[in-house]
Amino acid sequence: MQADKALTAGEKALAAEQAKKEAVKREQELLRQTLRETQQKMEAQERSFKESIALLKENMKIEKENEQKHQEKITEYMQKVEELLRKHQEEEMQHEIEVQRIKAESEATKRKILEEVQKKHEQSWKERGKNYQEHVKWLEKTEKECEQKNEQEREQLLEKNKELMSNNCLSTENENMIPGKGFSPLPPGELLPDPIILNHLPSEDLQGT
């Protein structure tokens, strides 16, 4: 009668330990899923940063081409102005003094226009280059911050998994100590961590596992 009671108690204890093991396995599976999602999120963020930088470079290229076209239009305009001046000079050859005055003023005006256009052009490119560098730095800083945050989340998940594995080992030792069953210790490799988890552990954690 006492043996039956002891057996019933042992079976209940085994059932409780089995339930704990299943709960630990479910928790580990949830952690593995979370790690996979974290990895996917990091990869998506990396792709997003690369696409943003590529788009920024493409926009700069387009702006440079547009600026070049604008400069060509200005050059064409100035050529037309010079052609009009030449015709005007031919028509006014009889009034040499007046023509010389107009030419001098026109040349000064042309140089002034070209200098102002060139100055504005250089200033515009300086500002665009500065904005481009600042945007790239912001993207790199944001990417680094996201990587650090994701790394912290990954380390917390790995630490929680190690705690679950430690609790699982303790549960196994308690199961081996149940009276009347005479269980031998489990083989060393039976409760090894899942390979997905081990792939994300640092080398010093693997040595201690």
Checking if the pLDDT of 119 tops 50, the result is yes
pLDDT in tens, 1-44: 454 555 577 788 888 888 888 888 888 889 989 998 998 989 89
Give residue 62's pLDDT. 92
Give residue 202's pLDDT. 47
Checking if the pLDDT of 209 tops 50, the result is no
Checking if the pLDDT of 191 tops 50, the result is no
How confident is the model over 64-92, as a mean pLDDT? 86
The span from the CA of 18 to the CA of 171, in Å, is: 9
How confident is the model over 117-127, as a mean pLDDT? 84
Checking if the pLDDT of 118 tops 50, the result is yes
Give residue 5's pLDDT. 57
Helix/strand/coil (H/E/C) assignment for every residue in the chain: CHHHHHHHHHHHHHHHHHHHHHHHHHHHHHHHHHHHHHHHHHHHHHHHHHHHHHHHHHHHHHHHHHHHHHHHHHHHHHHHHHHHHHHHHHHCHHHHHHHHHHHHHHHHHHHHHHHHHHHHHHHHHHHHHHHHHHHHHHHHHHHHHHHHHHHHHHHHHHHHHHHHHHHHHHHHHHHHCCCCCCCCCCCCCCCCCCHHHHHHCCHHHHHHC
- Determine how many CB atoms are found less than 10 A away from the CB of residue 34: 16
Binned at pLDDT 50, 70 and 90, residue 205 comes out as very low
Higher-pLDDT residue of 178, 53: 53
pTM as predicted: 0.32
Q: Pick the most confident of 49-58, 89-98, 115-124.
A: 49-58
How confident is the model over 79-83, as a mean pLDDT? 88
